[in-house]
Amino acid sequence: MDYRQTIKSVSLTDIQAQAKRVSAIMGEIKTVMLAPIQKKSPPVIGTGELLNLCNIDRSKHIYRLSLKDLPSGNLNGNRREWTLPEAQEWVKAYKADYLKPKGASAVTITVANFKGGVAKTTSAVSLAQGLSLKGHKVLVVDLDPQGSATTLFGLIPDAEVNSDSTALSLFVGEEDSLDYAIQSTYWNNIDLVPASPALFGAEFALPGRQTRDSGFEFWKVLDLGLDSARLKYDIIIIDTPPALSYVTINSIYGADGLVMPLPPNALDFASSAQFWDLFADLSVNLHERNKEEKVFEFIDVLLSRVEASDTASSVVRQWIMEAYGDKVLPIEIPKTTVTSSAAAQFGTVYDVPKGSMAAKTYSRARDAYDRYCTLLEEQIRAVWNKQVESLKEAK
Ligand SMILES: Nc1ncnc2c1ncn2[C@@H]1O[C@H](COP(=O)(O)OP(=O)(O)O)[C@@H](O)[C@H]1O
Ligand SMILES: [Mg+2]
């Protein structure tokens, strides 16, 4: 065969033309994409779900309604429904013991794994939603320049997020506190620090600052930057990029607890081994420079995207149990089938209204995240209690 027919040479001019075509198509997709997301709204909550969230029975609920001190909801036909803020008000009334005690500060949880596609972002946003349904005020910090968590909150990272509204200014050193970047979201009681591709600049800024000033501690920038937010929120959840970047190191250093989503398959297990190797090297390094040792209050390994029918996963599951022992949560997030609903694809299991078709497809994953939120809440309360104890001792 004539080689001229098989070789399809591509010049830089061709590539420039192709880049133009791709961005033109992206432009079209964006207008279509924006339409459903801009209308993003939180789900309405039925009475059954509200009773569950408050952990009360129907008669208690009816009695409390008669007192008229809590929102009375809206009648939809003969069913009573509650908006998200109304439901949160009810939950708070019944869960006073579970809320952040006076004097305690926000517990910071970083979701990390160097591998992409393991459900970091899905888990970070689902946990924020689940915990806010338990009455907590949550800040989500998106530190992945790809901005997937930002997208789940209905913002398009490239088009709608200005670099000044990301954590970049903090890492560059223009700001000392992350407060400037906090914005509210469609979900009551979850605020967001969004991300955009510009955030990648932090990977040059941080080592640059370290080179110019040997006393600079690049790994502490986020931790210090969150201090003011720790007083305003109950829980801070950080979503990280799939790399051991300078920003990821900051996220790990600033965390009270780590969550590592891990699908039970061989390749993901192998890459999790690298995560801990690199992490251990890093800890030794920082320990030497820092004197004081970093202590995590908890590390949770969360089996994610688990396929029930997958026989290979049971072998890998054994490796995971052997390697991570009691860090492995007694909860697995099952793999869900993708629904055709656009709203479901740009959201999490908490965005689909209960009772809808999508909700039925997602119910096992929703139950699993609910159970993890309950467990996580216990871990968070333990950290708050510890904080309060040490405050008392200091007095
Ligand atoms: N339980 C699940 N079942 C099915 N798909 C999932 C599940 N969790 C996450 N996904 C999908 O897997 C892909 C990667 O998830 P994502 O949370 O973005 O991972 P990461 O942040 O680790 O890269 C996304 O398309 C997401 O919708
Ligand atoms: Mg992600």
Determine the distance separating the centroid of ligand 1 and the alpha carbon of 116, expressed in angstroms. 9
Determine the distance separating the centroid of ligand 2 and the alpha carbon of 120, expressed in angstroms. 5
Q: Note the pLDDT of residue 313.
A: 76
Q: Note the pLDDT of residue 369.
A: 96
What atom in ligand 1 is closest to the CA of residue 337? 4
Determine the distance separating the centroid of ligand 2 and the alpha carbon of 192, expressed in angstroms. 15
Which residues have CB under 6 Å of ligand 1? 116-122, 148, 242, 305, 333, 335-336, 365
CA of 116, nearest ligand number: 1
Q: Encode the chain in three state secondary structure.
A: CCHHHHCCCCCHHHHHHHHHHHHHHHHHHHHHHHHHHHCCCCCCEEHHHHHHHHCCCHHHHHHHHHHCCCCCCEEECCEEEECHHHHHHHHHHHCHHHCCCCCCCCEEEEECCCCCCCCHHHHHHHHHHHHHCCCCCEEEEECCCCCHHHHHCCCCHHHHCCHHHCCHHHHHCCCCCHHHHCEECCCCCEEEECCCHHHHHHHHHHHHHHHHCCCCCHHHHHHHHCHHHHHHCCEEEEECCCCCCHHHHHHHHCCCEEEEEECCCHHHHHHHHHHHHHHHHHHHHHHHHHCCCCCCCEEEEEEEEECCCCCHHHHHHHHHHHHHHHHEEEEEEECCCCCCCHHHHCCCCCCCCCCCHHHHHHHHHHHHHHHHHHHHHHHHHHHHHHHHHHHHHHC
Residue nearest to atom 16 of ligand 1 (CA): 119
Identify the CATH number of the domain defined by range 100-394: 3.40.50.300
For the chain, which residues make up each domain, given as ranges? 100-394
Per-residue pLDDT of the chain (395 residues; tens, 9 = 90+): 676 677 777 888 888 888 888 877 766 766 665 555 556 789 899 999 999 999 999 999 999 999 999 999 999 888 999 999 999 999 999 988 889 999 999 999 999 998 999 999 999 999 999 999 999 999 999 999 999 999 999 888 887 888 899 999 999 999 999 999 999 999 999 999 999 999 999 999 999 999 999 999 999 999 999 999 999 999 999 999 998 899 999 999 999 999 999 999 889 999 998 888 888 888 788 777 777 778 899 999 999 998 877 766 788 888 999 999 999 999 999 988 865 555 566 789 998 877 777 778 788 899 999 999 999 999 999 999 999 999 998 88
Determine the distance separating the centroid of ligand 2 and the alpha carbon of 116, expressed in angstroms. 6
Determine the distance separating the centroid of ligand 2 and the alpha carbon of 123, expressed in angstroms. 9
Q: Note the pLDDT of residue 52.
A: 93
Residue nearest to atom 13 of ligand 1 (CA): 117
Q: Note the pLDDT of residue 344.
A: 60
